[in-house]
Amino acid sequence: GESVGLHLPTLSVQEGDNSIINCAYSNSASDYFIWYKQESGKGPQFIIDIRSNMDKRQGQRVTVLLNKTVKHLSLQIAATQPGDSAVYFCAENFSGGYNKLIFGAGTRLAVHP
């Protein structure tokens, strides 16, 4: 189940550098956001989430920032490693009757030694 994304924007970084992946979401009423990572041959995997009452959340080597004013989400990866190479998707929780996740287009992260 590799990620299909021939037309995805690509971020190329050197191993050890920090990476910042950006995402614009669509619905100002969305209250919950998730970053997913999709490696070649796998489905999307949960990385980190954030609720709309927060503007920053940190995990292990990853930080998510939320700017509700401009409907922008970012994922920061510290000391990027070759194993971080993947496609990254942001998703917003849209409560239109019931909760469902709406995904962004994705960004391909390529880590070079």
Q: Rounded to an integer, what distance in angstroms lies between the CA atom of residue 5 and that of residue 89?
A: 11
For residues 99 and 76, give the distance between their C-alpha atoms in angstroms, rounded to a whole number: 26
**Is the Cβ of residue 53 or residue 113 nearer to another protein in the bound state?**
53
Distances (CA, A) of 45 to 49, 97, 107: 12, 26, 14
* Closer of 1 and 16 to another protein (Cβ): 1
Which of 80, 106, 108, 109 binds another protein (CB under 8 A)? It is 106
Q: Which of residues 46-65 bind another protein (CB under 8 A)?
A: 46, 49
Q: Residue from 19, 21, 44, 109 that binds another protein (CB under 8 A)?
A: 44
Spatial distance between the Cα atoms of 70 and 50, rounded to a whole number of angstroms: 16
107 binds another protein (CB under 8 A): no
99 binds another protein (CB under 8 A): yes
User: Of residues 10, 16, 42, 81, which one binds another protein by CB under 8 A?
Assistant: 42
Contacts of 59 (CB under 8 A, 6+ apart): 47, 48
Residue placing its CB nearer to another protein in the complex, 42 or 68 = 42
**Where does this chain bind another protein (CB under 8 A)?**
1-7, 32, 34, 36, 41-46, 49, 89, 91, 93, 98-106
